[in-house]
Chain A
Amino acid sequence: MNQNYSTVAQRSPSALATNKVLRNTYMLLSLTLLFSGLTAAISMFMNMPPMTYLISVIGGMVIAMFVLPRFANSTAGIGIVFLITGMLGFGLGPILSMYASLPNGGNIITLSLGGTGVIFMGLSAYALTTRKDFSFLGGFLMVGFLLVLLAAVANIFLAIPAMSLMISAVVIMIMSGFILYDTSRIIHGGETNYVLATIGLYMTIFNIFISLLQILGIMGNDD
């Protein structure tokens, strides 16, 4: 009997908690995206050199992997998320300046931004409405991600444009899969920490945006 009561008592707050995690995640994600946009604009205004991107991405990833998990359950975690997303946004500045200087640059940036928004919102709506459990994707996505990272290491030295186009396309597919996987984990209670959920979704959006910029940049300057 006691077991039955405890099961009922645990189920109802768990559903509530999941909705709360989702709401908090989307709220923090919106704020961090706006903050990134602001830091990117500052970086563009300051005419930062291209190596800013490399330093910001490495710094952001190190903080996300080693510092954030220690503070994810405290309010300091929110500050760290803003630090990471602010750094990544700041790193985007020189990349955006480079694309903006292309003849079709404004169009490429706008389409990449809009395209990223459509992909993210479309896949989130799909995961939220179907409420399907995408946990079976975990291993497949991680292996795919590691393989694409290996290909990216090789292409740093090979510098083959077709390969970098292929890598960007695969990154978009893998990150799209991660949107379904992460959203489904939040819905089904697999992720109860909105700080970690936010940084996961932010990274997918960031990678999709960068990859779309690269694809549209290469294809847009074909003629």
Chain B
Amino acid sequence: MDWMKIISALALVMFIVILFPRARDMVKNSPKGTSSDWMSFVIPMIGIVLFIMLLIKLV
């Protein structure tokens, strides 16, 4: 199964190489968020973490 690991790694590296220029453009061109913008992102993320912890308890 080593060839599967090598193909997976190669596919991921290719994916990183293809996405890299797009990521660079997005970093350059993304507007800067204010602290209230970031809070509006962080709050639902905390909700997601708690929800996953609940799912782990349920399994």
Contacts and interface: CB of A to CB of B under 8 A. Distances in A.
Contacts of A180: 41, 44
Nearest to B5: A156
Interface residues of B, number: 37
Contacts, number: 109
Interface in A153-182: 153, 156-157, 169, 172-173, 176-177, 180
A115 B57 CA distance: 13
Contact of A157 (B7, B9, B15, B58): B9
29 contacts: A54-B7, A57-B11, A61-B15, A104-B59, A107-B58, A107-B59, A111-B55, A132-B40, A135-B30, A136-B31, A137-B33, A138-B29, A138-B30, A139-B29, A139-B30, A145-B23, A146-B16, A149-B15, A149-B16, A153-B9, A156-B8, A172-B48, A173-B45, A173-B49, A176-B44, A177-B41, A215-B55, A216-B55, A220-B59
Interface of A: 50-51, 54, 57-58, 61, 65, 104, 107-108, 111-112, 115, 118-119, 122-123, 126, 130, 132, 134-140, 142-143, 145-146, 149-150, 152-153, 156-157, 169, 172-173, 176-177, 180, 212, 215-216, 219-220
User: Sorted from nearest, which 3 A-B pairs have the closest CB atoms?
Assistant: A136-B33, A139-B27, A142-B23
